[in-house]
Amino acid sequence: MARIYAGILGPLAMLITLAHGILHGRSAEATLESAVVSLWLFAAVGYVAGRIGVATLEDALRARMAPPPSAQRPPNP
């Protein structure tokens, strides 16, 4: 999931940055530099968000599948 988010957010940010540079008439070098930086930055953000999402889902699944505390130990006579 982390790689999927990184793979979506990074290129999306790059495309938006390229479009912004073209629409505002920036030079090709400045536009490409900004686009590459935004690609890596948002890919990292997407990766972190995906890792947090996976950890959250795994914790919720473990909590749901774990037996209730009363079922774990038999009462002592």
Could you tell me the two tokens for 10?
A: 């990074």
- pLDDT value of residue 67: 73
With respect to residue 74, please indicate whether it lies within any of the assigned structural domains.
Answer: no
Q: Based on the structure, what is the number of domains in the chain?
A: 1
- pLDDT value of residue 43: 97
Domain extent for 10: 2-65
26-36: pLDDT as tens digits: 999 999 999 99
With respect to residue 57, please indicate whether it lies within any of the assigned structural domains.
Answer: yes
With respect to residue 76, please indicate whether it lies within any of the assigned structural domains.
Answer: no
With respect to residue 71, please indicate whether it lies within any of the assigned structural domains.
Answer: no
- pLDDT value of residue 66: 79
Residue ranges, the chain, pLDDT below 50: none
- pLDDT value of residue 73: 63
Listed residue (17, 46, 48) closest to 33, CA to CA = 17
- pLDDT value of residue 1: 84
